[in-house]
């Protein structure tokens, strides 16, 4: 499998995009998500957390019918909740980057991400941290730790 492309987050929309990709890739073929990703960007308002957090039940219904994206209602709802959580964490810490910086080391970061965000498990948190350029252990080491 190919290593995911890393990004240098410029603002909270970049963080929301990466966490949303982790959410939708969970249990799915990454190739499907990659192929549909341009439609996700459009469907979720360029991942602007303020706009996404304001989505209504009608927006959820609309997205759940959108064949251009993966129509998983629970993951759509999780994306909206995650946008709101990013905004809350920014309010509490001054920025999402400062929130991450307030956590000491990889273990604290992935555990906090699992706790704070919907539909983000251990591997989704690992993916998120890797993609945004945080220091992570080798994937095989983390995998062995998770699988026991």
Encode pLDDT of 39-86 as tens digits: 999 999 999 999 999 999 999 999 999 999 999 999 999 999 999 999
Whether residue 38 lies inside any domain: the answer is yes
Whether residue 96 lies inside any domain: the answer is yes
Whether residue 4 lies inside any domain: the answer is no
Whether residue 3 lies inside any domain: the answer is no
Whether residue 82 lies inside any domain: the answer is yes
Encode pLDDT of 3-46 as tens digits: 889 999 999 999 999 999 999 999 998 999 999 999 999 999 99
CATH number at residue 134: 1.10.340.30
What local confidence, expressed as pLDDT, does residue 87 receive?
Answer: 98
Structural domain count of the chain: 1
Give the torsion through C-alpha atoms of 54, 60, 62, 67, to 10 deg.
120
- What pTM value is reported for the model? 0.95
Whether residue 1 lies inside any domain: the answer is no
Domain interval for residue 65: 12-147
Q: Does 148 score more than 80 pLDDT?
A: no
Other Cβ atoms closer than 10 A to 130: 19
């Amino acid at each position: 499998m190919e290593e995911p492309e890393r990004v240098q987050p410029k603002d909270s929309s970049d963080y929301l995009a990466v966490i949303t990709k982790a959410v939708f890739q969970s249990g799915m073929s990454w190739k499907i998500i990659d192929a549909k990703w341009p439609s996700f960007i459009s469907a979720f308002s360029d991942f602007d957390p303020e706009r996404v957090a304001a989505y209504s039940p009608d927006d959820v219904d609309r997205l759940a019918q959108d064949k251009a994206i993966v129509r998983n209602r629970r993951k759509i709802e999780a994306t909206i909740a995650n946008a709101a959580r990013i905004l809350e964490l920014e309010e509490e810490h001054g920025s999402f980057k400062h929130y991450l910086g307030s956590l000491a080391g990889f273990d604290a970061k992935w555990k906090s991400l699992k706790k704070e965000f919907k539909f983000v498990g251990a591997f989704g948190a690992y993916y998120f941290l890797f993609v945004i350029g945080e220091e992570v252990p080798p994937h095989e080491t983390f995998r062995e730790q998770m699988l026991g």
